[in-house]
Structures are given as structure tokens and as C-alpha cells.
Amino acid sequence: MHSISFNKKISRIIIYVLLLTVIIVTVLPFVWMLSASIKTDREVFQMNPFVLIPENAKWSNYISIWSRIPLWTFIKNTIILTVTVTALQLFTSSFAAYAFAKMEFSGKKTLFMAYISTIAMPWQVYMIPQFLMMRKMGLNDTLLAMVILQAFSAFGVFLMRQFYMGIPDSLCEAARIDGMSEYGIYARIMLPLSKPSLATLTIFTFVSTWNDYLGPTIYLKTETKKTIQIGLQRFIGQYSSEYGLMMAGAVISLVPVLIVFLALQKYFVAGIATSGIKG
């Protein structure tokens, strides 16, 4: 018994050491980025000795970056695009997922599998047909083109459908007996119960849309319509040696993502745990 208990303790210590190592490796680049954002260009790569917070911290980097490029314009465009796409994906994914999970209609399983199978198709395969379609519609070089293309998500439908499958059908049946319409069941029963999955989908959608670089690069050409990722790339191209300013811009672009994650993180684990594969 003592041997088994000792082995368990050793295994637990090893697991904790491995987890701690992974955490350090993951967090270290962000710590370096924060440190570099308040340093001069000479101090950024000074390693002997390495100073986390310099004696004369250059907080002016966070002010200078706004005047070097139209950063506020880039951030505003990104906020508009990200918030709109996230809201639309939450609505379309939850609405379609309710139909696939709680309603019966001909060809439901076939249609669901056909739609979900598009997840396996890389975006690079169909990005050119999409671009040609948007250009023919006169939507090239507009944020609206990005919104239309990202308003629907097969992954979002899959995530929400798996969560809805865990909600007892008896709730829907009781509501139907009481005369509630399918729209009422969706809005008054399913949505209030699906906060964890909605929060999970919000995080995934917000982060992927905010950090998207290739899509805006293809569709957005006018300077006043570009997003933060393109703006930072433009800054790197023009001021490739000013590393402190680069890191300051990267930190600024990271703040909205952190705010969203911290605001919704208490629902995130629950949303992942309750959206396992069912039926």
C-alpha cells in the first residue's frame, strides 16, 4: 500500500512539473513581448543581463504607435467586422442547430452531414471562387464582403447542435403542447439554456475573426478599410527596426481578445464539456 501511495505521489509530481513547464513555455513569449514593448530598440535584444522592466521604461511606445500608422482606423474596422461576424454567427449557428437537433424533417441527417463535412475543406480551396463571386456582386474592397462570407459557420452549427442534443426533448414537447411555436421554443427555452456553448462559440469566432490576416488582405485594398492585422504588417514593413513600437502595437491588438476571453472564460470550460459528441 505504501509503495502504491508513493508511486501516485511521484506520478503527480511529474505531471505537475510537466504542466508547469508547458505553462512557462507558453507564457514566456507574451512576457517577452510585454517587456519589449517598453524598451528601446537597443534594450530589446539585450540578454546579458536580461532586464524584464527597464529602469527607464519607454511607455511612450504606446503613444508613438498611434501616430506612425492610422491605428485607430484599423482597430475601428476590426471591431466593426469582428462584432458583426460574431453576432451573426451566434444567431445563424444557434438557429440552424436548433432545427438539426430538435425538429424532424426529411433529409435532416443527410443535410447535416453534408454541411458539417465542409469543415474538412481548407479555405484555400474555395477562396478564389468566393473572391470572384464577391467581385461580381460589387462587394470587393468592402467590409460587407467579409461579413457575408463569415456570417455562417459549419463548426458553430456543429458545436451548438451537440449542446442542444443534451437538452431533454421533453422540454420542447411540453412547450409545443402549451401552444408555443418553434420560434418561441428557440428564443425562450433553448437560448437561455445554451449560455456556455454561446460563450464558447463567441470566443472562437471573435479570436479567429480578430486575428484573421489572409481574408482582409485579399478583399480590402483601401487604406481606410483595412484591419489591425494588416496595419501591423504595414508598420513592420515601414519600420522594421523599431521593435519596441512593434511589440507595443502587438500588445494593443491583443487587449480586446483578452477582455472577451476573461469576460466569458467561466462559461468556456462548461461549454466545451457539455458539447461532446452525442447522437
The backbone region for 220, taken as left when phi is positive above 0, alpha when psi lies in -120 to 50, beta otherwise, is beta
How many Å apart are CA 52 and CA 35, to the nearest integer?
Answer: 6
Each residue's pLDDT tens digit, 131-149: 899 989 988 889 999 999 9
DSSP, residue by residue, 146-184: HHHHHS--HHHHHHHHHHHHTS-HHHHHHHHHTT--HHH
What residue ranges do the domains of the chain occupy? 2-36, 61-273
Quick one: average pLDDT of 41-60? 80
What are 65-98's pLDDT values in tens digits?
888 889 899 999 999 999 999 999 999 999 999 9
Q: What is the pLDDT of residue 206?
A: 95
Query: Does pLDDT of 1 surpass 80?
Result: no
Average pLDDT of the chain, as a whole number: 86
CB contact at 8 A, 162 and 276: yes
Read off the pLDDT of each residue in 254-268 and give the average, rounded to a whole number: 85
| pLDDT confidence band for 271 (50 / 70 / 90) | low
Q: Report residue 119's pLDDT band, with 50, 70 and 90 as the boundaries.
A: confident
Structure confidence at residue 268 (pLDDT): 67
Q: How many whole angstroms separate alpha carbon 233 and alpha carbon 229?
A: 6
Question: Among 166, 186, 187, which Cα is nearest to 99's?
Answer: 186
Residue 279 has pLDDT above 60, yes or no: no
Class of domain 61-273: mainly alpha
Take residue 135 and report the three cell numbers written for it.
467581385
Which three-class secondary structure string do you get for 196-239?
A: HHHHHHHHHHHHHHHCCCHHHHHHCCCHHHCCHHHHHHHHHHHC
* pLDDT, tens digit (0-9, with 9 covering 90-100), for 214-232: 889 989 888 889 999 998 8
| 114-119, Cβ contacts within 8 angstroms, sequence gap of 24 or more | 115/154, 115/157, 116/154, 116/157, 116/158, 118/154, 119/154, 119/155, 119/158
* Percentage, residues of the chain above pLDDT 70: 94
> Could you give the dihedral angle defined by the CA atoms of residues 205, 207, 211 and 215, in that order, rounded to the nearest 10 degrees?
0
